[in-house]
Structure 1
Amino acid sequence: MPISNDVDAATCFPEHFALTGKHVIVTGAGRGLGQGAALSAAAAGATVSLVARSEDQLNETAEIIRGRGGDCHVIPADLSDTDALEGLVDGLWARQPVHGIVHSAGVQLRKEAVDLTPDDWRFVQRMNVEAPVFLSTAIARRQIEAEAGGSHVFIGSLNSSIALPRIAPYVASKTAIVGVARSFSTEWAPAGIRSNVIGPGYFHTKLTEGLLGQQDQLDRILGRIPMGKLGNPSDIGGMAVFLLSDASAYVSGQLLNVDGGWLGA
């Protein structure tokens, strides 16, 4: 028997994707993918707490948001100091209960595996795994107590699905974060908290600047992408808003790739 559907898509879509009245945290919001997610979340109506180490970069993002009529707070913070994350969340929650977070802050270390040191390894895992894990658990604890639900969006990578050379700590971190998100999804689902991962391909960001500055390397990468172009940070914004909003109310524990078709080729 066919399922009846009397929903008018033209009228329900804006409401489903809206973040009006919701407080969203975006880490790494001063540039790149984090800035793209922050601008889109603000455009969808969220009050966005912009978190990163560089206050100057955050102020640039805030200026764009406010210039477009959006609402945001600038929160300079060192996310590698995991002992300080509870206090950070206390301050953010006191402003307004947190609906969602986009974990975009991260680092990459390009080095031959045989030359890696324990400090190299720990540096990448601390920023790419420990910081988002303990930031999310601090937020989720309060969401569960408040019976508020929420959405946690992690930023993975192509390297969450494949392994590229000379970035072993990064590959490990981006693989780990998918497992973390799926575990959180299973554990927090009864509380109405969803957890997903966006897997970006190659984008115009500071992280890829050195690599993509080599024309032969850029040509090789573009030849591997079916859409034939690099992504822009704004391309992440739509996926972030989708995962933060009610439009994805039945989506959790997923890795959603935004890669120009790379992994589908």
Structure 2
Amino acid sequence: MTSVAADPTFPVDLACTPSDFSLAGRHIVVTGAGRGLGQGMALSAALAGARVTLVARSADQLAETADLARRAGRSDCFVHPADLSNLEAIPELVETISERGAIDGVVHAAGVQRRKDAVDVTPEDWRFVQTMNAEAPFFLSTAIARRQQAESRPGSHVFIGSLNSTIALPRIAPYVASKTAMVGIARILSTEWSRFGIRSNVIGPGYFQTKLTEDLFSQPGQRERIMGRIPMDRLGTPADLGGMAVFLLSDASRYVTGQLLNVDGGWLAA
């Protein structure tokens, strides 16, 4: 922590300072960084001073994110296309990314959804969603943490949950299961990794206007119904989530681990 006063006797553990929210000098990996919430969190980390490795399947979408960062004055975003559903390739992916510098943090924003009644869910539907939403984040985090522990390097792992980490909305059974799993994963990793200075937390986004929710909002009356439940009377934006991501990646949250923090405009409280 940086001292808040010129007096060297000031107790530095008494107050949080602006520098505690800085990510300057840190290398952050953000998956799903090509669009939507992942893109917003990647840009937020970059604007907080981090070097960011952008991971997603689409090189074109990642290039767009990197271009947005450059337009904001940040030129150190690295484009790294990858298919995270190939779990066996994740250790090699981490090794390659680490050549740009040791990894200090990761945000698991890649995610998928299939909307249908539970009785119509196929084994392929289930495997597809679980692989992308739960298994890939787990194995990516463990591959990163393995290196962090070997290097005695602290870190922060940010998982992206959902309202469905707390409740269960209908017609998305595989998604609900995967987002509930995020909370359990973050908690077990926090109990195992805290002694290494590695934290793990979950952000639970509420209703945001993204590609993933386009189908939902296109249904007659759904947008009005959802808006009627949000006390802040608006949908979330990627910038709304970026602040929480920066907080959890930074020293400002150094005593926060194993937690689910909802960013939902008050939806769960209503």
TM-score interval, normalised by the smaller of the two chains: over 0.9
**TM-score, with normalisation over the residues of structure 1?**
0.95
Match of 2:61 in 1: 57
Structure 1 segment 1-265 matched on structure 2, within 5 A: 13-70=17-74, 71-265=76-270
Aligned residue for 2:192, secondary structure, equals helix
Residue-pair matches, total: 260
| SS of 1:229 mapped into structure 2 | coil
TM-score normalised by the chain length of structure 2? 0.94
- Percent identity of the aligned residues? 68
| Deviation for aligned residue 1:116 | 1.0
Partner secondary structure for residue 19 of structure 1: coil
Residue 42 of structure 1 aligns to a residue whose secondary structure is: helix
Partner amino acid for 1:171?
A: V
Q: Give every structure 1 segment of 4 or more consecutive aligned residues whose post-TM-superposition deviation is greater than 3 Å.
A: 4-9
Amino acid paired to 2:194: A
For residues 164 and 127 of structure 1, the distance between their equivalents in structure 2, rounded to whole angstroms, comes to 20
- 1:8 & 1:112 partners in 2: Cα distance? 52
* Unmatched tracts of structure 2, length 5 or more: 1-9
Q: Deviations over 1:56-90 (max 9, x none)?
A: 10000000111212121000000000111001000
Q: What residue number does 2:6 align with?
A: none
What 5-or-longer segments of structure 1 have no aligned partner? none
What's the CA shift for 1:251?
A: 0.2
| Aligned equivalents of 1:6, 1:154: Cα separation in 2 | 30
2:156 is paired with a residue whose SS is strand
* Aligned alpha-carbon RMSD (Å): 1.4
Q: Offset of 1:14 from its aligned partner?
A: 2.0
Worse-superposed segment, 24-33 or 206-215: 206-215
User: Which amino acid in structure 2 is aligned with residue 210 of structure 1?
Assistant: D
Higher mean Cα deviation, 211-220 or 47-56? Answer: 211-220
Q: CA deviation at 1:7?
A: 7.3
